[in-house]
Structure 1
Amino acid sequence: MTDQERAAQRQVQADVAALAGAIERMAGDLAIGEEPSGFVVALESGSRD
């Protein structure tokens, strides 16, 4: 493997790691954003019982 190929491989690995980090942050944001609505739904369904 040449130095240029190794550099390209490292760049791909860095890009994949950055993408995985972005996905993880978005998933965390989504979970935080959905929790209040889930809480309200739980309260509403509990009040009907």
Structure 2
Amino acid sequence: MAKQKPKKVRKYGKGSRPCVRCGSYGPIIRRYNLYLCRHCFREV
């Protein structure tokens, strides 16, 4: 297998904060410090 570089640490933008439930970097709901993606927010 080829070597892979570790993920670059992002300070801002979509790649800076993953969903706390599933770990995706897509549409995150940050209101009230939830940090859940849109899909997990609807399931909870």
Alignment TM-score, normalising by the size of structure 2: 0.24
Greater relative contact order (CA < 8 Å, ≥ 6 in sequence): 2
Using the size of structure 1 for normalisation, the TM-score is 0.23
